[in-house]
């Protein structure tokens, strides 16, 4: 069983990025990424710190603008518009808070029905990012372009986490024919990854909570998956008894692993751990997106 080392892989990517950033600077093009952070989310604070450190290592300035999730949408959008029109800012990212953290901060208890909707709130913000500065691939137009396979022609980038998973599979020789099961239907990973795999000609099935429950009830589990990518945030959702011998397993759980490593390791052929797997590569992919958007087409 191969246990992927995301830290080593990301460090190699950073070395390559440093050279590209230096070349841009030599041509008078300094890179500045601006991040919107919501202070209530501790995970976002951690990830923002890691991104800022990595950006500075490769020569990219990383600015952080902090808000509360209870601040008005208009106030946050006003800052996004300022960043859109600032010629010094070459990339913009909004660090997505955990849904439960957002609900707790705005006063929604579990199971409560409310006129306030997390997805609507999130969409209202990311829709305001200038697509030319959308380094994390969050704008709805980006997702639409990934879905129809036109994102390269339109000068867009893949969402960073989806790009990280693909680069891990490619580098390890595991991006090959077979059945791909993607668990979790988020706009950040599940949907764009499934769209891109489909457009590349792979057999892929995107599974939500109900889909997975149905598989568990009928005993199918994840046994038909040659490559399993899980990004739900549900601790130890995937266990060794659910997968077939020799499966490739990519864990994109946060902040805790989706995959029960102890039971999966004896069965899988390849596994990305949490922490130290997809996370560091996602940071490198975000910075790579920033460079690609800034480089001459």
DSSP string, 217-238: HHT-TTTT-SEEEE-S--TT-B
pLDDT digits (tens, 9 = 90+) for 159-172: 999 999 999 999 99
pLDDT at 296: 84
Which of 205, 216, 194, 210 is closest to 147 using CA atoms? 194
> For residues 166 and 193, is the Cβ–Cβ distance under 8 A?
yes
Q: For all residues of the chain together, what is the average pLDDT?
A: 95
Which of 52, 120, 140 is closest to 91 using CA atoms? 52
Number of Cβ within 10 Å of residue 56's Cβ equals 11
Cis preceding-peptide flag for 255 (omega within 30 of 0) = yes
pLDDT digits (tens, 9 = 90+) for 195-242: 999 999 999 999 999 999 999 999 999 999 999 999 998 999 999 999
Terminal alpha carbon distance of the chain:
41
Is the pLDDT at 112 greater than 60? The verdict is no
Is the pLDDT at 132 greater than 80? The verdict is yes
pLDDT at 149: 97
pLDDT at 204: 98
Is the pLDDT at 255 greater than 70? The verdict is yes
What superfamily would CATH give domain 160-279?
A: NAD(P)-binding Rossmann-like Domain (3.40.50.720)
pLDDT at 143: 94
Question: What fold, for 28-136?
Answer: Rossmann fold (3.40.50)
Is the pLDDT at 116 greater than 80? The verdict is no
pLDDT digits (tens, 9 = 90+) for 34-84: 999 999 999 999 999 999 999 999 999 999 999 999 999 999 999 999 999
pLDDT at 181: 98
> For residues 249 and 243, is the Cβ–Cβ distance under 8 A?
yes
What are the domain boundaries of the chain? 28-136, 160-279
Phi and psi, residue 247, nearest 5°: -70, 150
Q: Coil, strand or helix: which one is 188?
A: coil
Sign of the alpha-carbon dihedral angle for 1, 195, 192, 100: negative
Shared fold status for 28-136 and 160-279: yes
pLDDT at 107: 84
Cα 84–chain centre separation: 22
> For residues 102 and 121, is the Cβ–Cβ distance under 8 A?
yes
Phi and psi, residue 35, nearest 5°: -115, 135
Say what the pTM is.
0.94
The average pLDDT across 122-143 equals 95
pLDDT tier for residue 109 given thresholds of 50, 70 and 90: low
Strands laid side by side in the 32-38 sheet: 61-67, 32-38, 91-94
Out of 107-121, 145-159, 281-295, which region has the weakest mean confidence (pLDDT)? 107-121
CA distance 297 to 129: 21
Q: Coil, strand or helix: which one is 241?
A: helix
DSSP-derived secondary structure letter, 11: H
Which of 281, 272, 251 is closest to 12 using CA atoms? 281
pLDDT digits (tens, 9 = 90+) for 259-274: 999 999 999 999 999 9
For Cα atoms 117, 231, 172, give the angle at the middle one, nearest 5 degrees: 150
CA distance 33 to 287: 9
Q: Strand pairing partners for 94? A: 36
């Amino acid at each position: 069983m191969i246990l992927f080392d995301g830290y080593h892989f990301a460090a190699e990517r950073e070395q390559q990025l440093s050279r590209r950033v230096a070349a841009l600077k030599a041509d008078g093009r300094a890179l500045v990424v601006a991040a919107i952070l919501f202070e209530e989310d501790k995970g976002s604070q951690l990830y923002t710190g890691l991104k800022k450190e990595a950006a500075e290592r490769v020569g990219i300035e990383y600015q952080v603008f902090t808000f509360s999730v209870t601040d008005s949408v208009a106030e946050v959008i006003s800052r996004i518009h300022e960043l859109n029109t600032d010629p010094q800012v070459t990339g913009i990212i909004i660090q997505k808070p955990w849904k439960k953290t957002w609900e707790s901060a705005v006063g929604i208890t579990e199971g409560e029905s409310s006129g306030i909707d997390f997805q609507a709130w999130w969409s209202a913000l990311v829709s305001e990012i200038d697509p030319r500065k959308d380094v994390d691939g969050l704008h709805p137009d980006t997702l639409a372009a990934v879905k129809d396979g036109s994102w390269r022609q339109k000068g867009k980038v893949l969402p960073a986490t989806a790009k990280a998973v693909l680069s891990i599979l490619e580098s390890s020789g595991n991006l090959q024919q077979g059945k791909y099961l993607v668990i979790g239907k988020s706009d950040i990973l599940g949907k764009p990854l499934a769209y891109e795999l489909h457009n590349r000609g792979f057999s892929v099935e995107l599974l939500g909570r109900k889909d997975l429950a149905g598989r568990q009830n009928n005993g199918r589990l994840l046994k038909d998956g040659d490559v399993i990518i899980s990004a739900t945030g549900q601790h130890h959702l995937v266990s060794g008894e659910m997968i077939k011998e020799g499966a490739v397993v990519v864990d994109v759980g946060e902040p805790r692993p989706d995959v029960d490593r102890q039971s999966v390791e004896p069965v899988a052929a390849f596994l990305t751990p949490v922490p130290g797997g997809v996370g560091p590569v996602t940071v490198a992919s975000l910075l790579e997106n920033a460079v690609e958007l800034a480089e001459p087409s």
